[in-house]
Structures are given as structure tokens and as C-alpha cells.
Structure 1
Amino acid sequence: MSDINIRFCVIDADHIVDENNAYVRLWGIDKNGRKVLCVDRYDPYFYVQLKDELDSNVGIKLFREQLARLKEFGGGIKNIELVKKKLLGVEKNFIKIIVRQPSDVQRLRDIIKNWEIVNEEYEYDIPLYRRYLIDKGIVPMGWVEVRGKAKPCTEHCDIKVEARDVIIFKDAPAQSHILAFDIEMCGNDIIMISMVDNKNFKKALAWGWQKGNKRVEILSNEKELLERFISLIKERNPDIIVTYNGDRFDFAKIRERCDVYKLALNLGRDDSVVVFTKRGRIRSAKIKGIAHVDIYDFIEQILGPSLSSEILTLDMVANELLGVGKKQLEWQDIESLWRKREGLDKIADYCLFDSELTLRLADYILPQIYELCRIVGQPLFDISRMPYSQLVEWLLIRNAYRKGEMVLNRPKFDEIRRRREAEPYTGGYVYSPKEGIHEDIALFDFQSLYPSIIITYNISPETLDKKNGEEHKVPGNDHFFTTKFKGFIPSIVEELIRKRIAIKRKMKKVKKNSIEHRMLYNRQYALKILANSSYGYYAFPGARWYSRVCAKSIAAWGRKYIQDVIDFATRNGYEVVYGDTDSLFIKDCDKKRAKNFLEAVNKMLPETMELDLQGIYKSGIFVLTKTGTVAKKRYALLDYDGKIVIRGFEKVRRDWANIAKETQEKVLLAVLKDRNEKKALDIVRATIERIRSGKVDMKDLVIYTQITKPLNEYDQNAPHVAAAKKYVGRGKVITEGSVIGYIITKGDGSISDRAVPYEYAKDYDPEYYINNQVVPAALRVLQGLGYKEEDIFSATEKTQSSLESFFRKSFKNRIFRR
């Protein structure tokens, strides 16, 4: 075949073995959208460290002799080399063993780990395709130019090349062909599959109805529906397939039904079947040559904490991010319509719109995942499912190769358990103010406090307790970190921070709503995620570079800085009303005072550290727990536009009924905006009366909780688990990720016994909702103003008079006092 040069954007990677040789495959698209497959032969390898007392030349000679006796390996070992790499910053000799197949790595390692001369083996658990990307410097969603030989393409692609040279380019990600799909079920049967892509394709497949239309293709039975789904995926041949909870539900159910009919779910571009790879409790659907991104996984792992959505359903997340939610159609209505063979258009509208929402979410979220791919250097499928700890770890692994560092081994099970069972250490500092209402509150926080501490004090496992002349002493204990050489992890974190600062400067010069601005935002956000996750990584029990002392030291310096700033504020006439880990709230602080404070503090901070003003609020309320300690991050702030920012109250939690959350928000508005505590009490009393009179809409009583594991793995029959089991008894499919909505009904038995799926609840227990929902939620606010439960239930004139007197005194003393 002829020579060829082809430049393309890498979307996915895997490896195969052919004729006893290992090959890495890069799948992607060129600038014209043509599907490209690059095949590159690459030999697996790992490292061995011999005992320290052995001379390197003697040691490698002995090692070669023992390898020669391994007849069962034959020609499996291609070569061994003596190399130098740093192990926790110290240069050491290692033997690099190069083999033919990925399976040879583990087989050989299992043999030689028992040899007398061997001290340890390293980097034996890095998958070959990931190793290749790291060694070659290739970043998925980045571009490469491949020079090599054109090959006949038996896979579903336009161009196939066997690589001779690979050159890296840093262009923006290509415009990929993306397809979303969604399924609808009735009992165990898949009755409809909708498919939508970003090339104007839109179709639903269904069976059971007599006649279809332009949007809906009718098949004779479920088996034909599945076969048609497989053939359409092959026809459309997308680069990326996106789902919402597809790992746990859509793909999992399609595989189950294909197994029933003995159908091969061969969606891979090489006609391979979908492989379900185990990741913790979850099995992820992986397609060779097509990147499957489960949007739900990324939102749950990465974006969830930053969202105000109470539950991570497609409806709630799409509403928050896109401003539009799902079409409303209950599952029992779908089941009823299908069994009657009616409502085809209604179900198709619902199913197709789910696919459209998933595609729109992908358009919003994928650019963020692309940037993480480009920084961490691993494929889309993997990155979209990694928690924070794994994102950091693979960033470190990639940079370890670049900096000549040996990748540390994963801890074994017993070591992970030991780490998990360790006594908790002191975390961030919480400053305890007097609870109540305060005015003109300036909110300050440190920008990337923990990453800044890692950089400033050179916090890394290999710099810990190394005496080299000058050291950073950890506040409150005897540990220290050397300044003699730069630590591995601080050097990586510093690169992240500097890149982010440079991008944020560039963003200021770019039009805000432009494509370039959005791209820069996504990149700086990815850098922020990785930098801010570095502290947590040290304390993660499964981390390769785990260091409890490093994590404790970072927290100790964090406490020192927030306390120093609070002390500085107090000495200079500022009144701090609350402080938590990396933020503080100062009352009676207008813009001028805030600016002066900010300038003074930043002058005394290290170069890498900066305090920032987040905003000034008209008023705010801070709440203590029942034990009299500050409730961490439980406060509400009223801005000058009349909007409330709420943290830690039931209003922003999913496990409270809407009536409790709405009542709490109304109480907050009454005390912060209207300055009327009597109104707040009246709101609660009126809600109690409505509940007792039976005038509450049942939808406002629904409590939502998410299923996080298979139902049979729950040890306790919590209310949401009991309700989920009742759903299953009625034929609804419940999987991990399902959100259960239930109502506590009247009757005997425990709360769990009376937890009924909201669609089937005929009544509700008013006393449960009063005593376990509305009153506790309201008291979270009112107890900060001196009220108790009996004040809510009391309605006598005497009590009202005393409350009004308390209201006048409290506002005079607490609010208007300067």
C-alpha cells in the first residue's frame, strides 16, 4: 500500500493483539469529518527494582540468567534495559522489561515478584493504550499527524493507516458526530428507543402499535426493534454516543434484552460487542471506536456539588443548565397507553425529547470534558467517568513520565482498609459567631487556598521531613517540608495554577459570549477542578501518592491563614460574623472598607495566595446547631437585588418535601427582607393549618431520594428503599441512579412501612409532615432568632404580645446596632 500523511483529532484509543504483537489503535476524525483509524505497534513494559545491596551490573546479570530459565515465556520477553528513574525524588536504577503482549506483563510480574533478588515491581498495571498516550505525548481531543502506510479498512472507517511517525498538534477539538438515545420500558420489555444526533437525524423505533409515521418506525416485536437499533447505530456511525444514566439503565437493559434473544450487541467499529467494564459498583458500556459518554456519570462525579439541582435527574439538571425540562408523562401512563396500543405520538414525543435533552446537555457539558481530556491526557470514555481522585492521579502519572519519576504502585486492599480506619484529623477552621441577623455583610474567600499552600510550602511525600538546611515547619506539629528541591506534586499544581491565571487574563480580552471565551472558560474550569482536587487526593485511601501527613499539614496551614486573617480583621476594627475553612464574613462592611481590607490582607499573604471579595450583601442570618456549635455552611444572605443565597438549609437539600423547603424560604424572606418575625411565625402556623385541614397539594409532600446501589444491597429498609420495592412490585424498573418520590401516608407501622410511591398515595400523615418536615425546617431559621418549638404552636394573645416585644428588642439590639 502507498504512504500516507493524515492529520486527525483523536477521540478514542484501545489496543489489540495480532500475530503475537501488541498494537494501539487511535480512532478519530479529520477536518472533513472522515473517520480515521491509526494502528501503531507498541510493546508493553514494566519496571523491576532489585535489592539495594546488589551492584547494578551484577544484579542485571543475575536477573538475565534467571529470565533465561523461564522456558514457558519463550520469545515473550523482547528485551531488558537498565534505566535510571527517580523514586520519590531519589534517583535509582531499575530494569525495564519489554514484552510482546499486555497479558505477558502480569504473567511475568507474578513470577519474578517472588525472586530473592527482586525488591519491587512498578508500572505493571497501566493499560497499554494509556501507556502509549503518555509515552507519545498524545492527548485525546487533540490532534496528531500520522505518517505511515495506508491499509485496507475492514473496520467502519474511511481511512486506515499503520503509523511510522506520530507528530502532536495543539488545535482545538474537532466538531464530532454525536448521537444520543433513550429507551422506554413496559415491565421487562423495551417498547421504544429514540435516537437523535447533531446532523439532523431524529427517529423513534417502537413495536406493538399497528402503524407508524415519519418519526416512528414500527417493528414487529422487541427482537426486531433491537436489531434495528443496532443497524441504525452502524448506519449513523457516530464518533460519540451520549446517554443519561446509560451505563446503569439504557445500555444495561438493552444488553439484558439482547441476551434474551441471543443477539450480539456488536456496536463497535470493528464489529465487536459492547463491553461492560467494571468501575467500582458500576459497569460501564464501552464501544470500540466510539466514545460512549454517560452524562449522568460526569455530573454525579464532578459537576454535582456545584449544581443547585436537588436531584440529578435529567429533568432537574436540564432545567438548571438549559432552562428547559422533560415533557411530563408518568411511567404508569406509558404502560397503560402501550398495553392499549394507544398514544404512539404521545410516548414518542416524550421519548424523543429525552434524547434531544441529552444531546443538548452534551453540547453544554462535553466541552468541559474535552478540556479535562486534553489536560489529563486520557480518552473521553475514561475521563467522563473518573472521580476527582482519578483525574488527579492520571495527571500525575502522565507528568511522572515527563519528569522522570517512577509511578508509585496502587495500595493493596489491606493498606486501603488501614488508611480508611485511621482516626480522622482536624480539617478546616470554623469561626463561631453569635447567631442571628447581621447587616452589610462582605463575603471574602481565598482563591485556591489549598493548592496555594501546596505550592508555597512545597508539600509532597518526597519533601516531607527532609532536612536540607531550610525547611517549612508545619504549624502545630513536628513535621516539616524541605525547600532544597521542588516537590513533584507541587510542581504539577503550580503549572495548573499558572496556566489558569494566564487563561483568565486572556479571557478578559475576549468577547464574553464568543466561542473563544467559552473555550477558555472550559479550560480554566478544568484546571481549577484539578488544582482544587490535589489536597483531597493526598487523603484518598486508594491514592498512589497517598500521604496523610501531607493532607494534615495542608489543613494545618489552612487553619493558620484563616485564623490570621480573622485576627487581623479584629485588630483593625472589623467584626467577623462567620468563618469557614477558606472564607469569612464581615458585617458593617461597605465597598470602601472591603477594598481597604482586601488590599491590606493581600500585602501580607505569600505570592501564590490571594484573598478575593465575592460580594457584599444587604443582610444575612447564621445558624447554630442544637448543640450550640456553628452549623458548617448553614447561612442565608440577601443581596441588594432582593435575591437570597442559601447554603446548608433544607431549601437546597433533596431529602425534604417541597412544603418544608418553601416554608423555610418564606420564613427566610420574612426575617431578612421584610424584617418581620411575626410574619415568619404566621407563615409556619398557616402552613401547619393547611396540612391539618388536608388542603395541601400532594405533589408538595413528595420526598425525593436517589437509589445509590442495588436494592438487595441495602442493609436497612429506609423509606426510599421501601418505596422503591413497592415500585418494583408494580412492575417499574428501578436501577442505581433511579430517583424515588414517595409520600408518608396514614396508618400503622413504621415510617418505612408507610412510605408509598407518590403516584399511589391516597392520603398523607399530617403529623409526620408537621413534626418531621415543616417545623424542623422552620426552626433551623427561627432558633437563630431565639424561638423554640413551643413558640410556633402557641397562638395566644399573650404569646403574640411577648413575641412582638421580643421582635422589637431583637431588631433594635441585633440588627440596627453598629
Structure 2
Amino acid sequence: MPSQQRQGQGFLLTANSYDRQGRAYIQLWLASNQGPVCLEVSDQQPVFFVLSSELDTVLETVGEHLLKHQSVALNTFQHQPITALYFASIDAHYRAAQNLQQAGLSCFEHDIKLHERFLTERFCYGSMAFAGSQGSNPRYPAWQQAKIKTAQYTPKLSVLSLDIECSEKGQLYSIGLYGEHFQQVLMIGSEQAADTPITWLANEYALLKQLELVIEKLDPDIIIGWNVINFDFRLLVKRAALHGIKLALGRQQGVARWRERSDNEQTGFISIPGRVVVDGIDALKSATYHFDSFSLENVAQQLLKRGKLVDEVHDRMAEINHNFAHNKPQLAAYNLEDCKLVLDIFQHTQILEYLCLRSQLTGLMLDRSGGSVAAFTNVYLPKLHRAGYVAPNLTRDFIADSPGGYVMSSKPGLYNNVLVLDFKSLYPSIIRTFKIDPLGLIEGLASPDNAIEGFRGGVFSRDKHFLPEIINQLWLQRDQAKADHDSARSQAIKILMNSFYGVLGSTGCRFHDPRLASSITMRGHQLMQETADWISEQGHEVIYGDTDSTFVWLNQDLNAEQAKQIGQQLAQGINQYWQHKLASEMQLDSHLEIEFETHFSRFLMPTIRGSETGSKKRYAGLTNDKQLVIKGLETVRSDWTEMAKIFQTGLLERVFSDQDPRQFVLDTVDKLMAGEYDQQLIYRKRLRRKLAEYVKNVPPQVRAARLADEHNQALGKPLQYQNKGSIAYWMTINGPEPLTNRVSQIDYQHYLDKQLQPIADAILPFIDLDFEQITSAQLGLF
């Protein structure tokens, strides 16, 4: 059947470029209203750029690898003319760049992949329109000679949650699969009655082949799971290789390929043609979710208020082994519930919607974790080319570093009526206002007479820049998202805008220059300090400042409405001050906006432990609606016990409400010594290195982990803690001992000295009380 010229719209799932018969090809898989679509592009040639002044030497060095070269209307950041070199294949492109680098010759943008350049130069981020000659395959139409352009398209993606169960040695037991209209467990074993839908397979080989068939039939766009890349798929590919199988899980029987990270043998990448594998942990972290533990049990309990049947890893492994041997239907139910938990977390958090919006804003693939530098490059590079420049190469030559955010030395005390004023998106606002931009820096240095002065020698063009307008457009989009109550879009835009400073300050970014980052942070310092001075001139005292927040003590007997009015008046006055100052002194329109955020009726700024100096990034306050807000103190830190958190919260509540806390202190000590808090005395800490790597400094969690594994070994059970992980333990009179096999008495004096007293000593002196004096008579009874 002859091909026909067609067009449509879709959303990018996977992108790849490769050589075929000595020519470079690009393959794009899209989700569309007509189903999955494969776009094939064969008319794009890999390219990089060299200095025109070095062209003769370059041509001699590149030799037969080169297809053609031509002058282009581009320059380096040092205003040197550029020549483009084109190649027939990706391999030739790579070898030529390698030869030039070995010869000490410059080449620019050689590290940009062919498919990435193809997409970004057409401003195709996530969604796109396409046209081309459609092939005859009814299920997966392949479009040859495909052309693409930017478009707005919202995908409806099919999602399948996957989870495997296996022995501690990696032998597969079962594979759970759960989707919107599908649930199934593939299980090794003979048929048994079960409430859970189970497909019974004779052995591991049959299990893997059945997985191929089910994936082909369901044809999901997205496969999700929990640590699904570095555990489930890593193991599936490994077990398949043992049986001589290349897992055909992709569209058109594409093979799933595992690739190790070069810098870490424990993590890697999975690529499946036409399908995206999204790990729940990485996805939530990319959207700035924070949990004490990212275990599935903990996250599910936090978000869904339900979780696994068993959370202790060792017990769970024992139960899995037991059920596989004696109760396979129970194991299948457990397996499927894990799948459902993951899917419900994805739906609850709208995390896929967030990832799709991130892709549409930046061109990052759905499965990309991190990627702030790549996102910036995707958005900025095509604009830079149109301005007549090639991007600089990544360099580590810069020594000068930019300072961090402004943090004022605090004035410790217990206060009434403290206001918090926040600059709204301070760093993006500074970029917009002061035109801070890589291109703007180059143009400003070339024509400094009418440029905007930055810091550390940075000067910025008033009219040649991209980043201020990029942020302006994002700002408008976020305001609209807020108006539409579109939380996923609003969050995606917020994270992107706030990442720009970090990108420009990162030596891992090709646009890094200390003059860029310093002109942001040092301007922030100036704004915060001058704002504090202006507030002081109005008769109020600034007791603390941190990055973009200013804490103002009103030192007056006011009700909530009066305090709010003062806060709003201060915010309005500060905004007017900066508008007038920047217009008159620098001829700039101010995009700075400070907001009155919070009124604390009571507020505590503690001292640094063991010092009279005020602390930083640590405070507590009581809002007008009686909400207790705690920042940086023990209550919100994962390395303190639950008892410490309960004690600190109770103490603050009593102090803020002017109640005498002495009886509460005594009652807490009584309960601690009587053993009533034993379950709240558990430490839970991460092992950040392999157990054997702790040699000189051996912290308590490592000692507890070694005891736990000695116990496991004595019982003939698998070792748990040799390769990082988390450990729960008590501190006993004989040192740290794990939850699983504590034999000694709990050391209550340790918890009194290391948990209760430090918390009390940070609070009680502000009301002229002393922990030791309160407890000394009581402790004499024990």
C-alpha cells in the first residue's frame, strides 16, 4: 500500500538518534489521539562548530570524517567567527570531535545529541505538530521524512504500574501489573484458587516471555513503579540475559536496554522504544516532595493513609519467601497491592501531569530526574543561535565563587507581634529587573557605556538578553495557572523559574560565569540590607533576615487586624521605595515585589546551642489562628527521636500561651524514666556509605547496623546493611542496638541528656527557667 502525506499532533515519549548504514537517523515516539506514532527523520546531519581562524588545521585533523563545512553567521562569546562542520553519521561526528580535542583545537556544541538539537531548534518541547509520509502499519504508523513544529497538545497517556517479587538472590517469583482497566499477577507455580487474578507460569523463562506478551497487548505509554528502574527493570534485564532473552518490551518489538551510569555502578538507565519508565521516587523528588524516608510504605502512609502489610525489610523478605513456598495467592495479593499503591500515589500527587508540563516548558523527557542544567540549555540555546552566538564549552576554569543567599545575624528572644515580609520569587525578580543574562553579559561587556552594572565586574545589556523575557512569560503563565487552580502547572513553572539561579551558579552548566550568579545573590544581599534599613527608619526593629524573608518586631500591644494593617503598609512602602529608587538611579522598572506573609502573635528566635549568639534558619512562631510553625528546630529534623519532637512541641505550646511548663517537663521526665516513651526513643538514620567503608569514625547507626547483620548471619539470614540502607535502633547502656535484636536496657539518661535537655535549654531561659533546676529533685528519686 503506498504511503500518503499526513499530519497530526502528539506528545513526545522517547527520542533517539543512531547510525544506520553509515547515515544518521532520528526516531521519535509520540502519543497521539490516534494512538502511538513513530516519526523517522533521515535528512539531519550531526554538526558542531570550530573557530574559522583554525579551519585549515581543523580540516587536516578531521580528514575523511567530514561531509562538508560552511561559514555561518555565528560567533563565540569572545566574538570570534565560527564555521560549521557537518557529518554523515553520528560515529564520524564523535570521532572528529575526539580528534580535535586531542589535538588541542576548539570545537563547540559537539556534546549536543542529534535528536536534542533537532527538537530544540524547532522549539518542540513535549508537544508538537508533525507531518510526513505515513506507512501502512495499522498499529504503529511510521512517518518517514517527518517534519515537526511547535504545538500545544495535551496527551492522555496510558499507564501501567509494575512491581516484581523475588528472592534475596534475585530469582523472580512474580510480576504484578496494575492499570486503569487491568490487574494481573504473573506467578511461577501451579494453579491454585485465589481472589487475585493470577497467570501461572512454569518457570522464570516462561514468566519473562509472558511479560513480553502482556506488555505488547496492553501497549502502555508509561510504566511506573517504586525504584522501578534501578531495581525492577535492572533485575528483569539481568534475569532475561541469564536465559538468553533480550526483553522485547518496546513498541515494534523494541528491546529494553539497560545502561549503567559511568559514575555509579548501583544506578543506571532503562530505555524501551516507544515507552517511558517513570520511577515514583525520582518523580516526587523532582517536584520537590520531601519525606523522612522515600520507602513506599512511608510515602503511602503519608499521602494515602495506608500502606504495606509489613514494613520491616527483613521480616518482609522472610514473609515473601514463606508465601512463595506456602501461600502464593497471599504473595500475589501483596504484589498487586504494591502496584496499586504506586498508581494511587501518582494519581494523588498528579505527578505525571507535572512531568508532562515540565516537558512542555523545558523539553526534558518524562523519565529525566534532575536536569535543571539540561532544561535551561534546551530553552536558551536555540534563542542564542538566533542572536548570532554558539554556546561556550563546559569549563571548570572559574575559581571565583558566588556567595549564597543573604542570612542576617538574628536577635534572639521571645517576642510578641512579629511580621514576616517576603520578596516574591526574589531571584527571578532580580533577573527580570536587572537584566541578568548570559547573552546580556557578553553584550554588556562589549558595550558597557549604557549597560546595567552588576557585581564582580558584571555589566548587562539593557536590550539584548533572553532570560528576563523568559521569566516574564513564565510569570504570566504561573499567574494564569493559579487563577485556573492548576496546581501542577503552577508548581512546574515555580520550580523552573527558581532553578535559573542555581543553573547559572553551577560549574556543571556551559553558561556558568561567577559574574552572573554573583550579580543575583549580591544584589539580593543589597536589597535585603537596604530593606531592613528602610524598615528601621519607620520605627520598627528587624530581628532576622533570610534570603528573601524579613522578620519585623513591632514592639507594640496590637491585635491581629492592627498588625496586619502595619504589615500591608510596610509591604506597600517597600515596593514604592524600590520602584522610585531604581527608576531614578538606574532607569530600571522594578519587578521586585515584597508581600506581607505572616503575623506571629508569639515568636521565638533561639540562640546557637551553648552560645548567646542568635541562631540562623531556626525559629518557631504561633500564628493568629493558633498554628505552630517550626523551622529548623528538632521537631522538623529526621535525626531526632519522636519523643524529642513531642517534648519540643508541647514546651513551645505552653510557653507561647503563657502557661507554666514546669509540670509538663516533670511529667515528661517521669514517663521517660518509667519506660512509657520507649517506642518514641527509636533513632532512624541512613547509612550513606557501604558498611565496610566506615573505619575511623564509626557513628551509632553503623554500630547498630553491624550488630544487626551479625545477628542475621548467626541465624543464617541474609545480611541487610552491607550496602547502605536505613537502620532503626535504640541507645542502650551498652551502646546502640538495633530494633530487631536489642538485648540491653535502654539508656534513659542518654535520652535525658541528649534529647530533652538541649531542647529545654533552647527555650526555658527566655522565661527565666532552668531545666536542671526543675528536674534535679525529681531525678534524685530514680
* TM-score (normalizing by structure 1): 0.83
Match of 2:682 in 1: 702
Q: Which amino acid aligns with 1:470?
A: N
Match of 1:83 in 2: 72
Match of 1:561 in 2: 527
Match of 1:435 in 2: 412
- Alignment match of 2:593 (pick from 610, 618, 621): 610
Shift in CA distance, 783/77, structure 1 to aligned 2, threshold 3 Å: farther
The 2-side partners of 1:345 and 1:697 are apart by: 37
The 2-side partners of 1:666 and 1:485 are apart by: 56
Is 1:181 paired with 2:159? no
The 2-side partners of 1:343 and 1:641 are apart by: 53
Equivalent position SS for 1:600: helix
| Cα shift at 1:625 | 0.8
Equivalent position SS for 2:157: coil
Match of 1:166 in 2: 148
The 1-side partners of 2:59 and 2:646 are apart by: 76
The 1-side partners of 2:59 and 2:328 are apart by: 73
Match of 1:311 in 2: 293
Match of 1:287 in 2: 272
Match of 2:673 in 1: 692
Comparing 248-257 with 291-300, greater Cα deviation is found at 248-257
Match of 1:635 in 2: 619
Is 1:365 paired with 2:351? yes
The 2-side partners of 1:530 and 1:709 are apart by: 31
Shift in CA distance, 691/225, structure 1 to aligned 2, threshold 3 Å: farther
Match of 2:582 in 1: none
The 1-side partners of 2:84 and 2:254 are apart by: 35
| Cα shift at 1:609 | 0.7
Shift in CA distance, 146/797, structure 1 to aligned 2, threshold 3 Å: closer
Match of 1:94 in 2: 82
The 2-side partners of 1:641 and 1:345 are apart by: 51
Is 1:532 paired with 2:498? yes
Shift in CA distance, 688/266, structure 1 to aligned 2, threshold 3 Å: farther
The 2-side partners of 1:766 and 1:92 are apart by: 71
- Alignment match of 1:598 (pick from 536, 546, 571): 571
The 2-side partners of 1:345 and 1:83 are apart by: 67
Shift in CA distance, 192/359, structure 1 to aligned 2, threshold 3 Å: farther
Shift in CA distance, 392/669, structure 1 to aligned 2, threshold 3 Å: farther
The 2-side partners of 1:394 and 1:740 are apart by: 41
The 2-side partners of 1:64 and 1:257 are apart by: 47
The 2-side partners of 1:724 and 1:480 are apart by: 51
Q: Which amino acid aligns with 1:179?
A: L
Kept after mapping to 2: 8 A contact 1:649/1:780: no
The 2-side partners of 1:374 and 1:41 are apart by: 25
- Alignment match of 2:475 (pick from 500, 503, 526): 500
- Mapping for residues 660-809 of structure 1, pairs under 5 Å: 660-672=644-656, 674-676=657-659, 678-679=660-661, 681-698=662-679, 700-708=680-688, 710-711=690-691, 716-724=697-705, 726-727=708-709, 729=713, 730-731=717-718, 738-747=725-734, 751=735, 754-756=736-738, 758-763=739-744, 764-782=746-764, 785=767, 790-791=772-773, 793-795=775-777
| Cα shift at 1:656 | 1.8
Q: Which amino acid aligns with 2:163?
A: D
Shift in CA distance, 114/331, structure 1 to aligned 2, threshold 3 Å: closer
The 2-side partners of 1:279 and 1:401 are apart by: 31
CA RMSD of aligned residues (A): 3.2
| Cα shift at 1:21 | 1.5
The 1-side partners of 2:193 and 2:760 are apart by: 53
- Alignment match of 1:381 (pick from 353, 357, 367): 367
Kept after mapping to 2: 8 A contact 1:243/1:293: yes
Q: Which amino acid aligns with 1:94?
A: I
Kept after mapping to 1: 8 A contact 2:257/2:270: yes
1:448-478 per-position Cα deviation (integer Å, ceiling 9, x unaligned):
111222232233453475562134444xx76
The 2-side partners of 1:285 and 1:671 are apart by: 54
Shift in CA distance, 506/243, structure 1 to aligned 2, threshold 3 Å: closer
Kept after mapping to 2: 8 A contact 1:146/1:164: yes
The 2-side partners of 1:164 and 1:264 are apart by: 29
* TM-score (normalizing by structure 2): 0.86
Comparing 462-471 with 576-585, greater Cα deviation is found at 462-471
The 1-side partners of 2:675 and 2:224 are apart by: 44
The 1-side partners of 2:207 and 2:683 are apart by: 36
The 2-side partners of 1:387 and 1:164 are apart by: 27
Is 1:257 paired with 2:239? yes
Q: Which amino acid aligns with 1:234?
A: E
Q: Which amino acid aligns with 1:703?
A: Y
Match of 1:469 in 2: 449
- Mapping for residues 404-553 of structure 1, pairs under 5 Å: 404-411=388-395, 415=396, 426-461=403-438, 462-463=441-442, 468-474=448-454, 479-487=457-465, 491-505=466-480, 507-508=482-483, 510=484, 517-518=485-486, 521-553=487-519
The 2-side partners of 1:47 and 1:780 are apart by: 60
The 2-side partners of 1:465 and 1:440 are apart by: 48
Match of 1:110 in 2: 98
Kept after mapping to 2: 8 A contact 1:277/1:286: no
Gaps of 5+ in 2: 555-561, 580-589
Shift in CA distance, 129/585, structure 1 to aligned 2, threshold 3 Å: same
Kept after mapping to 1: 8 A contact 2:120/2:378: no
The 2-side partners of 1:128 and 1:29 are apart by: 21
The 2-side partners of 1:44 and 1:743 are apart by: 62
Shift in CA distance, 132/705, structure 1 to aligned 2, threshold 3 Å: farther
Comparing 241-250 with 263-272, greater Cα deviation is found at 263-272
| Cα shift at 1:374 | 0.9
Kept after mapping to 1: 8 A contact 2:216/2:249: yes
- Alignment match of 2:259 (pick from 276, 282, 298): 276
| Cα shift at 1:622 | 1.5
Kept after mapping to 2: 8 A contact 1:9/1:28: yes
Shift in CA distance, 370/629, structure 1 to aligned 2, threshold 3 Å: farther
The 2-side partners of 1:223 and 1:746 are apart by: 52
Is 1:351 paired with 2:351? no
Provide the identity percentage. Answer: 23
Equivalent position SS for 2:121: helix
> Across the two proteins, how many residue pairs are aligned to each other?
741
Kept after mapping to 2: 8 A contact 1:139/1:377: yes
| Cα shift at 1:643 | 2.0
Comparing 370-379 with 398-407, greater Cα deviation is found at 398-407
Is 1:583 paired with 2:535? no
Equivalent position SS for 2:107: strand
The 2-side partners of 1:217 and 1:603 are apart by: 70
Shift in CA distance, 620/220, structure 1 to aligned 2, threshold 3 Å: farther
Q: Which amino acid aligns with 2:424?
A: Q
Kept after mapping to 2: 8 A contact 1:702/1:741: yes
| Cα shift at 1:599 | 1.0
Equivalent position SS for 1:350: helix
| Cα shift at 1:783 | 5.1
Kept after mapping to 1: 8 A contact 2:259/2:269: yes
Equivalent position SS for 2:99: helix
Equivalent position SS for 1:431: coil
Is 1:219 paired with 2:194? no
Is 1:66 paired with 2:60? yes
Shift in CA distance, 242/784, structure 1 to aligned 2, threshold 3 Å: farther
Kept after mapping to 2: 8 A contact 1:248/1:283: yes
Match of 1:29 in 2: 31
Kept after mapping to 1: 8 A contact 2:401/2:514: no
| Cα shift at 1:294 | 1.3
Q: Which amino acid aligns with 1:83?
A: V
| Cα shift at 1:253 | 3.1
